[in-house]
Amino acid sequence: MLHCCIHNGLRLLHPFMPFVTEELFQRLQLLCHQPRATVMLAAYPEPKACAMWASPKAEADMATITRLSASIRSLRGLYLKVSLASEPASQPASE
């Protein structure tokens, strides 16, 4: 699974970072004992190939976590705003 994700990710990133992705792609092939090839000639990933990894439950769980995180950040910002507003301004030290 990890190999497939990295392989697809390198092919997706190649137009934007050609030298880095080429180096990583060839090293990945060496680690997996595959014949060396160039990422430049590899087929661009198709959305249908990754459709089997789609998980509505995982997506719903992540949406819940995102909403929870946004709520916590909003409460934290509100708390900090109120606590800073209620503090008296500090006076500069007189010499």
Q: What is the pLDDT of residues 9-51, one digit of tens each?
A: 899 999 999 999 999 999 988 888 888 888 888 888 888 877 7
- Residue of 3 and 65 predicted with greater confidence: 65
Is it the case that residue 95 has pLDDT exceeding 60?
Answer: no
Is it the case that residue 80 has pLDDT exceeding 70?
Answer: yes
pLDDT at residue 90, rounded to an integer: 59
Is it the case that residue 78 has pLDDT exceeding 90?
Answer: no
Which residues lie closer than 8 Å to 91 by C-beta, 6 or more apart?
none
Q: How many CB atoms lie within 10 A of CB 27?
A: 11
Which residues lie closer than 8 Å to 53 by C-beta, 6 or more apart?
none
